[in-house]
Chain A
Amino acid sequence: MNSTVAGAARFVREVRKALNEGPPAVGVLVIEAEGDEPPVGARMLVHLGAVEGSLGSQEIDRLAVREARALLRAGDGPRTLELTAGCTVYLELYRPADSLVIVGAGHIARPLCTVGSLIGFRVTVLDDRPDFATRERFTEAADVRRVDFTDPFREMELGAGTYVVLVTRGHKYDFEALRDILARDVLPSYIGMVGSRRRVRACFEQLAAEGVAPEVMAGVHAPIGLDIGAETPAEIAVCIAAELVQCRRGGTGAPLREKERVVERWIVRPDEGS
């Protein structure tokens, strides 16, 4: 980065722009190069339509841009690869944080807004009650909106990268919001809805009667959250947040102790007992 200190400041600005508002971009960084050609530390930023910076040669740049755009389209995590013999680059995607839309601004919504913000979501809270949908109640939220529950997501996009949690005061509102979401061409990354087994069942029966496909319903996390015996609003927020992380990172949700079984496998061997 020595040779490009001025360029580096610009790079950082552009990265922050991609992270804060988009559009997404991929950074390419030379981490190993024989004979320092291209220079180790050289960076470029690749957008879908434009490229900023250069790794030093047209040939290397062409290969780097191809790899960067592949990563950009796939939306994958970072990777390190050998671009040419002796030249290794590291690529990473910069895009805006995932968005958590909490429908209903009641008891669960407050701690969920806090935890959701802590774990890196851009949080939006929706409610139709002016006394509840306030910035004072949701200081960590990026956006708090008063909406009409007959059309709660007006002018909102709920595509990939959006996590929707339905926790309104009335199951009818939850149901209508869910129906609205499931009728869309593009579904959010996550849809969760609170409710007892009975309530959830009634909701799915109604949707089935309206012709919603079972596989579409199977994608809805209802009842919401992981089974940790949550009781208070704060505990329920943790149980929902745990499921959000699981959806984002792809864990099983099972206790790690049971997954690894360290004592059973290495400490107490069953055949040694007899």
Chain B
Amino acid sequence: MTEEQAVWTAVEEAATSDRPVVLATIVRARGSTPRGIGSKLVIDPERGLTGTVGGGCGEAEVIEAARQVLLTGTPQLVRVDLTEDLFSWSAAVCGGVFDVFLERAGG
């Protein structure tokens, strides 16, 4: 199964069991980002994560934003900036910026 199939399967399974999940999609990326446009992550409060929008580099921010989307059902466009100072010990030092669209799906 491809990553893409795994992601959509996770969304469909959530829909079938009436369980809300959040689908996050990178819709813009510039500079050095771990993943490019189109990369996806499903955040399922019960089953965990499927796919990835870049791991440590910014993924935590996306998961944090997903809580809100899960609660309200209102889609959000989140900008993740990975251009922080290299010696800040932050994970966000890859050098690029990407936008993630988060939407509630499934329930």
Contacts and interface: CB of A to CB of B under 8 A. Distances in A.
Contacts of A1: 73, 75, 103-105
Interface stretch (B8-16, B43-51, B59-67, B87-95): B8-16
Nearest to A30: B75
A27 to B, nearest CB: 10
A160 B57 CA distance: 34
B74 A2 contact: yes
Interface in A1-49: 1-2, 8-9, 12-13, 15-16, 19-20, 29, 31-32, 40-41
A16 B37 contact: no
A40 B73 CA distance: 12
B27 interface: yes
B2 A120 contact: yes
A2 B37 contact: no
Contact of A92 (B2, B3, B38, B74): B38
Interface string A241-272: 00000000000000000000000000000000
B25 interface: yes
Interface stretch (A56-64, A74-82, A222-230): A74-82
Q: Which of A2, A32, A77, A90 has most B Cβ within 10 Å?
A: A90
A40 B104 CA distance: 12
Interface in A85-143: 90, 92, 94, 97, 120
The dominant DSSP class at the B interface is: mixed
A13 B12 contact: yes
A15 B104 CA distance: 16
Contacts of A12: 8, 11-12, 15, 105
Interface in B20-65: 25, 27-28, 37-38
Nearest to A39: B75
A144 to B, nearest CB: 18
Interface residues of B, number: 23
B5 A19 contact: yes
B4 interface: yes
A31 B37 contact: no
Contacts of A8: 15, 105
Interface of B: 1-5, 8-9, 11-12, 15, 25, 27-28, 37-38, 73-75, 77, 101, 103-105
Given A19-B5, A78-B37, A92-B38, 10 more contacts: A1-B73, A1-B105, A9-B15, A16-B8, A19-B4, A20-B5, A41-B75, A77-B38, A92-B25, A120-B3
26 contacts: A1-B73, A1-B105, A2-B74, A12-B8, A16-B5, A16-B8, A16-B12, A19-B2, A29-B27, A29-B101, A29-B103, A31-B77, A41-B75, A77-B37, A78-B27, A79-B37, A80-B37, A90-B25, A90-B27, A90-B101, A92-B25, A92-B38, A94-B4, A97-B5, A120-B2, A120-B4
